[in-house]
Copies of this chain bind each other. A is one copy, B any other.
């Protein structure tokens, strides 16, 4: 059994997402063969890329405020919000301009393929 504090796991910068870090809390390194748990931290005003991929996200917001954008619009999120991003759905997580945003984001173990990031007029959304 692995038991550890989430914040003892090093935070790594996320490519194409200034002000965003990720901690891999439970991954293949811990023997997790089916799905993996990550902790994302967004500084105020920062966001993940507007992007899509073939795997789903299961998200739980731990702290802060922000919005999640999808093709069907924007949704406010805060501590206690749950988000399910379906496979191939475009999405982006954005921290409030003055507040950080911290959330768990779990992915299937197969979610290790290249990510499609929009470099079109959608960039920055």
Task: Assess the B1–A75 pair: CB atoms within 8 A.
Answer: yes
A81 to B56 alpha-carbon distance, docked (Å)? 24
Residue A26, interface by CB 8 Å: yes
Interface pair B2/A82, CB less than 8 Å apart: yes
Interface residue A18 (Cβ < 8 Å from any Cβ of B): no
Copies held by the complex: 2
- In the complex, are the beta carbons of B32 and A35 less than 8 A apart? no
Please report the total number of A residues contacting B with Cβ < 8 Å: 40
A34 to B55, CA, bound (A): 10
Q: How far is the CA of A58 from the CA of B58 in the complex (A)?
A: 13
18 A-B contacts, Cβ less than 8 Å apart? Answer: A1-B70, A1-B86, A2-B83, A3-B75, A3-B77, A3-B82, A3-B83, A4-B81, A4-B82, A5-B80, A25-B60, A31-B84, A33-B56, A34-B34, A34-B108, A37-B60, A37-B106, A60-B60
| C-alpha gap A56/B34 in the complex (Å) | 9
Contact in complex: A80, B7 (CB < 8 Å): yes
A121 interface residue per 8 A CB criterion: no
